Amino acid sequence: MKTSSSLTAFSLLQSPTRFLFFTGKGGVGKTSVSTATAIHLADEGKKVLLVSTDAASNLDQMLGIELRNTPVPVPGVPTLSVLNIDPDNAAESYRGRVIAQMEGSPEEEVSVVREQLSGACTTEIAAFDEFSSLLAGGFESYDHVIFDTAPTGHTLRLLSLPKAWTGFLKDNDRGASCLGPHSGLKMQESRFQAALKTLSDPVHTTVVLVARPEKGAIAEAAKTSAELKSLGLSNQRLVVNAVFRATDPTDEIAVSLERVGAEALASMPDSLAALPRDSVSLRPFDTVGLASLRKLLFEAPVLSKNAGPSRLSTAVDTFPGLAELVATLAQKERGLIMVMGKGGVGKTTIAAALAVGLVKQGKSVHLSTTDPAAHLAMTLEGELGGLKVDRIDPKAETQHYVDKIMATKGAKLTQAERDLMLEDLQSPCTEEVAVFHAFSRIVAEARSSYVVLDTAPTGHSLLLMDATGAYHRQMVRELKGKVTTPLMRIQDPDYTQIILVTLPETTPVTQASELQDDLRRANVEPFAWVMNKSVLSTGTSDPVLAARLDGEKLQMERVEVGLAKRLFVVPWLARSPVGVEALSMLVRSRSG
């Protein structure tokens, strides 16, 4: 199927490299843009493989297919296949290969390795193992391999693994780690190096930074660009998604939305502005299904003011807002509040607003984050008495953990033994352990005060929860139940309130529902849902915005009736609520 020449303005597609990596802040539209690109190239007659490295991918919903860890043909696009690097399947396969290498070893040694391979770090490196096979000679029959990646922080971690593991394996042939015997890992070093070489080759690989016309998304894209360049990935492009242009100069909401986007783009850092750039207009439809995805990269048609204004009332005003949620949470003297959800739904803003609201209620609050791409400092832009703000910094926590181990277990060792111990602690797996210990400390703080935890996007958070569950099982087994683990505290509804944040759109609601199912399987019951950025109550008549309102109301009813025990709604704001005063307004009672 040949597409229209109206796509010629989308310069990314004029001479694409074989490997295309789409990355960016959660919620900017990486999956939509990467999938639309894959469909276009396939429609042009190319054989294309679309690969998701996101544990919380929604490609299955967008394309109406079941994702697997082998290529699945896409009905309606004959030369396009989709592959999902599922972390759990990858880890299971990886464990099998490592154990197979130990054939003939004593059972006691095999058991030790099997236990070491049970951690979340094994899951991460196993996913990279599959990922690297695609870069180092796998699937040669495809003209293009397009990667739809996890949100930025997790993707940077993935892309840094070749250097991290190549450095760790150098001159290290001893013992075993949470990845299995080092001797077995040395066999894979050539694949790691080949993957890194391909990633750094501008002839073969292009990194596509996706952002929205929002200051936070653009700032993260600039930061990501610099970090990727430091890893050797210098062939970069920028796609700005969901660019909005108002059609009615008298519609205050629409004009304000356009102005905010234009200001964000005008203040773009020079390093990002220098990259080749494409733009995608905000669409009046959800990008679900082939028909919508095929339209995404075309120039958007101009809709008339009467092109279908919403028939819906502003019944959203009947839903309680964040002020009511804060009042409910503040009824206790302490507690852990974990804000969770898909990347890009506004978790950080909601977490910061809840923390500010609790402080205004006279509470002492510790606000922290487990997100590798933390934005708390940018969101708060100031200090507030009674509010402690920090983040779990993986590098700092790893150094703290290494120093502690060397000062305790290494204190009575010889210098040679200390050198060996320090060498072992340089393993990237140490970071997983260090971050988990920091997470456990913060969870324990809620015994005597309020802790608000802004979590990483869904997939990364579930890996942390897996580590929490593994630790729980180990402690219960070793101490025969005489212990209170972090998982037990999270499962306790009197101790922990889980807040699921979503947007009034089909895919975010579906993903929040799936996250809720995952939590319930771990005996963790969400306390409430927050529907963020609702346009229903703004009264806009702009045709693009109005066309989106019917779908928004359907999603709100879907959540209220069948998914959430408690639903709180936050309206779309003309300006992002950045700073203590703006966050205070967000949690101020409508009557006050």
- pLDDT for residue 2 is more than 50: no
> What is residue 1's predicted lDDT score, i.e. its pLDDT?
45
C-alpha distances out from residue 351 to 217, 428, 492, Å: 18, 29, 20
What percentage of the chain exceeds 90 in pLDDT? 25
**For the whole model, what pTM was predicted?**
0.67
Average the pLDDT over 156-175 and give the result. 55
Quick: pLDDT tens for 87-114: 777 777 777 777 777 777 777 777 766 6
Please name the residues in contact with 192: beta carbons below 8 A apart, sequence gap of 6 or more. Answer: 132, 161, 162, 165, 166, 169
Catalytically annotated residues: 27, 29-32, 54, 507
Torsion of CA 216, 324, 370, 333, to 10 degrees: 140
**Local confidence band at 6 (pLDDT 50, 70, 90 cut-offs):** very low
pLDDT for 133 equals 75
Between 561 and 383, residue with greater pLDDT: 561
pLDDT band at 124 (very low <50, low <70, confident <90, very high): low
For residue 38, what pLDDT band results from cuts at 50, 70 and 90? very high
Report the first-to-last Cα separation within the chain, whole angstroms.
58
Phi, psi for 239 (deg, rounded to 5): -120, 120
- What is the rounded average pLDDT for all residues in the chain? 79
Q: Compute the distance between CA of residue 255 and CA of residue 216 in angstroms, rounded to an integer.
A: 20
Domains and their CATH numbers in the chain: 5-293 (3.40.50.300), 315-392+446-586 (3.40.50.300)
Q: What is the pLDDT of residues 218-247, one digit of tens each?
A: 988 898 899 888 888 889 999 999 898 888
Convert the pLDDT of each residue in 563-591 to its tens digit.
999 999 988 776 778 888 888 888 886 65
